[in-house]
Amino acid sequence: MTTRAIEPWIFEPLVKFVKEAGARLVLLMTSAGQVLAQHGFSRAVDVMSAAALGAAIMASTDEIARQLRQPPFAALNHQGERHGIFLAAVTTGRGRLVVLVVYDLDASSLGLVQLFFEQLVADLQAASPKESVPKQVLAADFERELSDSLNTLFGR
C-alpha cells in the first residue's frame, strides 16, 4: 500500500505508524483540511471528502470543548462493525495538525492505534521543522495548490 507525503519530514513517522498500528487508511492534514500526507487511499475524491469531514469534526468538537470551557478533546474514536475511526490532533513545529486513522477491527484495535499514535506524535514533533507554520492557501492559488497536492499524494 502506498504512503505519500507532501512534506518529506512526515513520511517516515507515518510509514512506521501505519505498519505498527495496522492502520488501513491515514490522513494527516492541517486544521483547515489541507492534506499533508496520506496512506491507503486510492482515489483523490476520497481524500478530499475524508479531509473535509475530518477537519469539520475536529472543528465541531473544539467548539464544544470551548463552550464547556475545557481544553480541546484529545481524540475521538468511532467504532463500527468492521472498522474503527480515530481522529486526533498533534501539535508540531508546523502548527496543529489533524490525524485521521481508519483501522480494521480484525487487524488492529483502539488500544494499538492509541499506543502507536503516541509514538507518531513524538516522531512528528521530533521531525517537524521548528520555525515555520503551514503555508496558508490563498483563494487565487487554491485550485493549483489542491491540484499539486493531489498529484503528489497519488504519485502522479
Partner 1 sequence: MADDVKALSAELAQDPDSLVFLRLGELLRHKGHLDAAHRVALTGLERHPHLADAHDLYARILADKHDFERAFDEWDMTLRIAPDHLGALKGLAFLYFKVGDVQQAAAHLEAAQRVAPDDTGIAQALALAHGGEGGAGPASPAPEPLAPSPAAQPLEEARVFAGLEGAEEGLLLLDPSGRVLGGALKDPAGRDVADAVAAYLAGVSQEAGRTAKLLGLGTWTGLAAEGQHGHVHLTPPTGSALLLVVRGRAVPMGRLAIIAQRAAVAARRWLEAQA
Partner 2 sequence: MTAAPAGYGRVLDLVTRVRGVRGAMLVAGDDGLVVAEQLMEGIKGPAVAALAASLASRLRRAMEAAGLGAGQFWHLQAEQGALLVVPAPSGVVVVAVAESDVNVGLVRLELLRAAEAVG
Q: Residues interacting with partner 2, by CB under 8 A?
A: 79, 105, 108-112, 114-115
Shortest spacing between CB 113 and partner 2, in angstroms: 8
Q: How far is the CB of 63 from partner 1 (least distance, A)?
A: 35
CB under 5 to 8 A by kind: which of partner 2, partner 1, none does 42 bind?
A: partner 1
Grid cell locating 142: 487554491
Q: Which three cell numbers stand for residue 149?
A: 497536492
Q: Which is nearer to partner 1, 25 or 97 (CB)?
A: 25
- Local structure of residue 130 (DSSP, 8 states): S
Phi-psi region of 71 (alpha: psi -120 to 50; beta: other; left: phi over 0): beta
Burial class (CB in 10 A: 0-12, 13-18, 19+), 100: buried
3-state secondary structure of 40: coil
What is the rounded CA–CA span in Å between residue 122 and residue 133?
18
Q: Is 118 in the site for partner 1 (CB under 8 A)?
A: no
Q: Which of 16, 22, 110, 146 binds partner 1 (CB under 8 A)?
A: 22
CA atoms of 94 and 123, how far apart (whole Å): 13
State the minimum distance, in angstroms, from the CB of residue 101 to partner 2: 14
Query: In the bound complex, what is the minimum distance in angstroms from residue 112's beta carbon to partner 2?
Result: 5
Task: Return the one option of partner 1, partner 2, none that residue 114 interacts with (CB less than 5 to 8 A, by type).
Answer: partner 2
Interface with partner 1 by CB under 8 A: which residues?
A: 1-2, 20, 22, 24, 40, 42-43, 104, 106-107, 154-156
